[in-house]
Structures are given as structure tokens and as C-alpha cells.
Structure 1
Amino acid sequence: MSGPLMPKATAVWLIENTTLTFEQIGAFCGFHALEIQAIADGEIAIGIMGRDPITAGELTTAEIERCQKNPTAQLALRTDKWEKPKKRKGGKYTPVSIRQDKPDGIAWVLKHCPDFSDTDIIKLLGTTKATINSIRNKTHKNSTEMKPQNPVTLGLCSQAELDVLKAKYPKAVQED
């Protein structure tokens, strides 16, 4: 059985905040009951702050209460704690270090994939329709210095994302 992420800190918290036996805490944290007793006596783990396994998603209060009522019961690590992250709504985040390269990537997409819809370009590169139109019409503030570069090599999107769009528009793609 795997244990908590920080076993000593979790043991300190369980000693301070529950009435579980040393055997129960030791079995859950992966320590011998004598080590848990030494932590409780202040002989080891001095200065370690307790880590709440409930807020960490490793235990539930119902599980702790169940084991407090029955000294022979063993604590069980939660297995349902990890949920899939929800999809984020909104624009695609681009790190500050490569934001100045975004117009070059947009120019490349407009040149090599002219049939891509503005919506697809917005999703692919995390830009706005106004930016796409200004680059297309050559009214962008950096249009004189712009050099179309592949957005994959610039780090603006992955090759897989670009390939999905290319598959959507098979006749539109023009390569160098």
C-alpha cells in the first residue's frame, strides 16, 4: 500500500489532531508504532509542522472517525482524490518570452495555410481576430519587420495541433 506524500508531517498532524492509536498512524504512514510514539513524545520529528491529510485529499473525516471508533481498523488512502482538470475557457496562454514571436507565426499560417478559418487560427495560436486581420492587411505595427516562421518551431503550438488543422483542410496546405 502506498502512503501519504509526507509521512512524518502527516503522522505529526494525526497525533496532534486525532485520537487514533500509534499502530493505526504507523500503519498508514509506513512507520513502526514505536516511531510514532517517539514523535508523540517529542524525541524525533522535532520542528516538523503537521500536514493535514484531509485538505491534501489523502483521507476523509469519515475515514478518520471510523478508525477512531474501532482501534483495530486501518486507515485507507483515498483513491478518488484525483479528478481530471476541467478544460479552461478562454484564450491560450503564451509565455512572455515568446509573445513577440506570435505575429511571425500568424504570418506563416496565413501564408502557408490560407484556407484556415480565423477561428481555427485563434484556437491554434491563442490570438485575436483583430491581430489576424492586421497581419493579413499589413497594418500590424511590426509588419515591416515581420518574418513568417513556423509556429511549431517558435513554440506557439505543437506539431500535432497543426497536423489536426491540416487534416481538416487537406487541399489548403502549401509547403515551402
Structure 2
Amino acid sequence: MKLPLMPKATAIWLIENTSLSFDQIADFCGLHELEVQGIADGDVATGMQGYDPIDNKQLTREEITRCENDSTAKLELIKSEVIESLPPRKKDTKYTPLSLRQEKPYAILWLLKRYPTELSSSQISKLTGSTKNTVDNIRNG
């Protein structure tokens, strides 16, 4: 499901400027209902400015009015050609310190000794964060 930009700030604006239920706001912003209630009570996101989803072409006034009149309706994000054309984000790789990088071959060797038939090379490479080629080299060499 697509979420609005800056979901907490959008939730703040929706709480302050609409009569939508906490459940509707939480569902639209991808937050928990208690988190939205905490924002309304002032416990969460204090000092944060609201972000107007109407001015930023994420919602229309008609959509908000429709959901205010029907408490079971869900807010729908406006389809944006710009957002739809963006490629999916790649998963960020974590930095592995040098000391742990030196331990990877030993971890691969230990897994190969303990579980020679149960684990495939691709499973071991995912577990240790190394390449399949490295696992095959250790297995064969």
C-alpha cells in the first residue's frame, strides 16, 4: 500500500483540520491507531508541523468529505504519475566491520562442517552475508 509523504506530519494535519476517525487516519498514514491518538493528545510528535496533503496533491477535499460522512470509508491516495514512475528502492547493505569480515570464512567453514547436506550454498551465503562464489570456493577448496 502506498503511504503519504511524511505520514506523521500528515496525520497531525488531518487531526487538526478534519473530523476523520483515528482509525481512518491511522489506516491512511500507515500508523497504529494508538499512535494517532497519542498525536491528538500531544504525547507523540510534539512541536511537529502538520503537512497539508491537499496542497501537496496527495488528497482531495472531496475525498476527505466522503470519508468524514462515512466512518467505514478509507482514504485513497491520489495516483501520481511521478511517484508511479519511480523505480523501487534497493535494499541498503549494512556496513560490516573489518574484524567481522575476517570471521566470515570461518563461519562458512563451520556451517559446512556441521550441516554439509542440509544447507545449500545460497542459504549459507545469505546467512553469512557473503557471496555464493565464496561459499563454493571454501566448500571445494
Normalised TM-score (structure 1): 0.46
CA distance in 2, matches of 1:80, 1:12: 22
The residue that corresponds to 2:39 in the other structure is 39
Number of matched residues? 83
- The 2-side partners of 1:64 and 1:2 are apart by 17
**Cα root mean square deviation, aligned:** 1.4
Q: Hey, what does 1:11 align to over in structure 2? A: 11
Gaps of 5+ in 1: 83-176
Q: 1:79: how far off?
A: 0.2
The letter of the residue matching 1:79 is K
2:70 corresponding residue in structure 1: 70
Contact 1:57 1:78 in 2 (8 A): yes
CA–CA separation in structure 1 for the residues paired with 2:48 and 2:75: 22
The separation in 2 between residues aligned to 1:7 and 1:51, in whole angstroms, is 9
How far did 1:15 drift? 0.1
Residue 60 of structure 2: aligned partner:
60
- From the superposition, tell whether residues 42 and 81 of structure 1 become closer, same or farther in structure 2 (CA, over 3 Å): farther
For 1:64 and 1:80, how far apart are their aligned partners in 2?
Answer: 18
Rounded Cα–Cα distance in structure 2 between residues aligned with 1:33 and 1:62 = 23
Which residue pairs with 1:174 in the alignment? none
Q: What residue number does 2:48 align with?
A: 48
8 Å CA contact retained: 1:57, 1:81 = no
Cα deviation, residue 22, structure 1: 0.1
Q: Which has the larger radius of gyration?
A: 1
| Structure 1 counterpart of 2:44, one-letter code | I
Rounded Cα–Cα distance in structure 1 between residues aligned with 2:16 and 2:64: 13
Percent identity over the alignment? 56
Map of 1:101 onto structure 2: none
Q: Output the CA distance in 2 between the equivalents of 1:81 and 1:44.
A: 33
Is 2:22 the partner of 1:25? no
What CA distance in whole angstroms lies between the structure 2 residues aligned with 1:70 and 1:8?
Answer: 23
- Gap runs ≥5 in structure 2: 83-141
Paired with 1:42 and 1:17, the residues of 2 have a C-alpha distance of: 15
SS class of match (1:56): coil
The structure carrying a bigger helix percent of its residues is: 2
